[in-house]
Amino acid sequence: MQDILSDEALDQIFRQARTYRAWLDKPVTDETLRQIYDLMKWGPTSANTCPARIVFVRSREGKERLKPALAPGNVEKTMTAPATAIVAYDLLFYEKLPKLSPHNPKMRDLYAGNPQLVESTAKRNSSLQGAYLIIAARALGLDCGPMSGFDNAKLDEEFFGAGKECAGCDQEFFPEGHVRSNFLCNLGYGDPGKLHPRAPRLEFEEACDLR
């Protein structure tokens, strides 16, 4: 049996946590970004595939590379955020399975021969891992601003070498064109003065059923 988290902790992670679009002038350290990853990596994924790959964009130069792909309404909030996580997925995630699923040696070949399964597994599980990232960040006292309003193909071409020859790709982390963006998540310490009233959620009876 696990302990139930305190009401304060549940407020911080869920009930009081908001989506932020304006940021206090307080940096997010590399150490904090490492702490986020070292928590989120423990969240479950199917067959322990762990397909998410994350680029934490912090520098002005990196933000300028992001900018052309952003929907106009997402530019200001992203350019001013201390960090923006590109939550992406690796279509070759199965090559890590000998390490990640050593007890199940046949899993690699199952995925390697089935691109549709690769795509659906990578998208589903990287989305889950993105949610774990949000929860980890909130647990560490940060605020988040997730976004899907951007041009995935444009961003993938810029950051992941998708669809182009790989000039200068030795400087990139995932240059070979097999990583795709899922969503973006601004990270920092949100400015509570800039929040609009919170929208409601569905009640249990509207969203759930007990059978």
- DSSP SS3 for 89: strand
Measured CA to CA, the distance from residue 203 to residue 201 in angstroms comes to 6
- The smaller minimum CB distance to ligand FMN, of residues 68 and 102, is found at 68
- Phi-psi label, residue 146: left if phi above 0, alpha if psi -120 to 50, beta otherwise: beta
How far CA 56 is from CA of 12, 20, 63, 66, 93, in Å, comes to: 23, 17, 10, 11, 19
CB of 162 to ligand FMN, least distance (A): 20
Give the whole-angstrom CA distance, residue 211 versus residue 208. 10
The residue whose Cβ lies closest to ligand FMN is 149
Q: Measured from the CB atom, is 65 or 198 closer to ligand FMN?
A: 198
CA distances for 63 relative to 2, 9, 145, 211, angstroms:
41, 32, 15, 49
Interacting residue ranges for ligand FMN, rule: CB under 6 A: 18-19, 21, 74, 146-149, 183, 198-199
What is the closest distance, in whole angstroms, from the C-beta atom of residue 127 to ligand FMN in the complex? 8
Give me the least distance between CB of 25 and ligand FMN, in Å please. 20
Shortest distance (Å) from residue 48 CB to ligand FMN: 24
* C-beta closer to ligand FMN: residue 48 or 127: 127
Choose between 20 and 160: whose C-beta lies nearer to ligand FMN. Answer: 20
